[in-house]
Amino acid sequence: MKSFAIILLSNGTFGGAQRRFTNLFLEFRLRRRLNAYFIVTPSMKRQIAEIYGDQALDGILTIGDEVPLLDTSAFVSSPLSKSKIAGPKRALLKQSIVYKIYYYFKTKRIQFKQFKEINHLAKQYEIDRFLAVYTGVLPLYFYLNRHKNRPRIVFSNMDSWFSHLSEAPEKDWFRQYDLFNRAHAECDMVDVLSPFIVEGLMKRGLNLPATKYSITACSFIDYSRCSAGNKDKLSVVYAARLERDKNPLDFVNAALQLASEFPDVDFHIAGDGRLAQDIQRLVKAKSPTNVIFHGFIENPMTLFAESSLFVSLQTANNYPSQAVLEAMACANAIVATDVGDTRMFINDENGYLIGSGHTELSSALRMCLQRPEIIKQKGKFASQFVRENFTINKAANYYLNLIYPSNEA
């Protein structure tokens, strides 16, 4: 077996995808002793060291320059995102042919620079296969120009909407989606995180043959970092990127409504994103002592260990949220919106599925907080359920088969 590398290029918050593939890399490199490498940005390497310790850095390679962590307004990739140009004029400019040409060549220049660094590392460490996560596949397009002797490339697609590239993905997904068309068409295999994402790709008219894609075996976390603590005091946690598709304001409004009704229950909000300042202002204006805004937390399991109820309110799909799995492993019952593939890990025995909106959430939380013993039972079942069904061993075997297929000539 030669060397292979996972590529994940992120300068933002260390979220679910970063945790998932860091754990996968550590499984390959440290526990299975494979010739695995992890190609990341310098800022992501720094975050891995802070969270996992210096021992996790063996086999981690970096490309690009050190970039400060993105602030809460930096999730939009457009060079106009910080422009002083007014909204209507900015929209017109983004549709102009001049802007499109500028954007295309600017992006290609960055990707070619990344490709040259990746190719240098591939030669240095004899890497001949790549598992490219999301935008990590874009620099590898230059390999696709080679008709012979190019490395095997598996594209891991985690989002049929590519929503993190824009504040309004429903309006300009055509431009964004074009970025990934070639990955779906020409990579050796496409790893798709869940059936819901396949449906989204098909709705966009992508002709993806069944033999060309594979649905990820399961999501997973590092259960050694999860445990149930003292849950005598009831508390509810919401932890996610504070973006509109995660609906954090629904939780904030429900928590503020229930705070006086349940004064002995703590309501925790953790995360960072464009809505962070709005949420902080809302909580500060009401000043309830039992609604606590934490901002970004490096180790949210410290909250989950003491809480009994975790809330996930994504608009499109809660599966396979790392935070949900971590909360379940820490014996939390789950309240989640019934969307996408959420039923793949939330059921009547470990939680509650609800419709959208803070009114329905308030009703569900009220019912839960009035039945603490049932919540604790569901939490215990949740902890057992994820440890039996969402294992890193199952996921690692799946990815190894994609990287080194058994039917390979």
Judge if 102 and 23 occupy the same domain: yes
Judge if 59 and 186 occupy the same domain: yes
pLDDT in single tens digits along all 409 residues of the chain? 689 999 999 887 788 889 999 999 999 999 999 999 999 999 999 999 998 999 999 999 999 987 655 443 333 334 444 445 555 555 555 556 776 677 778 888 999 999 999 999 999 999 999 999 998 999 999 999 887 889 999 999 877 555 444 445 444 444 555 678 889 989 999 999 999 888 888 877 777 888 999 999 999 988 988 999 999 999 999 999 899 989 999 999 999 999 999 999 999 999 999 999 999 999 999 989 999 999 988 889 999 999 999 999 999 899 989 999 999 999 999 999 999 999 999 999 999 999 999 999 999 999 999 999 999 999 999 999 999 999 999 999 999 999 999 877 5
β pairing state of 60-62 and 36-40: parallel
Judge if 96 and 203 occupy the same domain: yes
pLDDT at 67: 64
pLDDT at 166: 47
Judge if 56 and 179 occupy the same domain: yes
Could you tell me the end-to-end alpha-carbon distance of the chain, in angstroms, rounded to an integer?
A: 14
**Largest Cα–Cα separation, the chain:** 67
Write 172-181 long-range contacts (CB < 8 A, 24+): 172/94, 173/204, 175/100, 177/204, 179/135, 179/138, 180/137, 180/155, 181/206
Judge if 212 and 261 occupy the same domain: no
Mention every residue, 6+ apart, whose C-beta is less than 8 A from residue 248. Answer: 238, 240, 242, 269, 271, 273, 275, 279, 313
Residue from 226, 212, 112, 103 nearest 155 by CA? 212
β pairing state of 3-7 and 291-295: unpaired
Judge if 169 and 209 occupy the same domain: yes
pLDDT at 207: 74
pLDDT at 201: 81
Using a cut of 0.85, tell me whether the model's pTM lies above it. no
Amino acid identity of 251? F
Amino acid identity of 257? Q
Q: What are residue 31's DSSP bridge partners?
A: none
The number of helices, as runs of H, and strands, as runs of E, in the chain is: 14, 13
pLDDT at 161: 52
pLDDT at 408: 77
Judge if 64 and 39 occupy the same domain: yes
Q: Residue 272 to residues 72, 74, 80, 277: CA-CA distances in angstroms?
A: 7, 11, 22, 9
Indicate whether 86 belongs to any domain.
yes
Judge if 188 and 233 occupy the same domain: no
Residue from 7, 23, 70, 16 nearest 317 by CA? 16
Cβ neighbours, 10 Å, residue 355: 11
Q: What are residue 238's DSSP bridge partners?
A: 269, 311
pLDDT digits 0-9 by tens, 85-143: 555 555 555 556 776 677 778 888 999 999 999 999 999 999 999 999 998 999 999 99
Judge if 60 and 95 occupy the same domain: yes
Residue from 163, 303, 169 nearest 241 by CA? 163
pLDDT at 77: 39
Judge if 204 and 259 occupy the same domain: no
| Joined tokens for residue 329 | 């492993």
Instruction: Reduce the DSSP state of residue 99 to 3 states and report it.
Output: helix
Judge if 172 and 271 occupy the same domain: no
Judge if 109 and 234 occupy the same domain: no
Residue from 326, 333, 361 nearest 347 by CA? 333
What is the tally of structural domains in the chain? 2
- What CATH number should be reported for the domain holding residue 159? 3.40.50.2000
Indicate whether 408 belongs to any domain.
no
What residues make up the domain containing 213?
A: 3-220+392-403
Instruction: Reduce the DSSP state of residue 160 to 3 states and report it.
Output: coil
Indicate whether 255 belongs to any domain.
yes
pLDDT at 206: 76
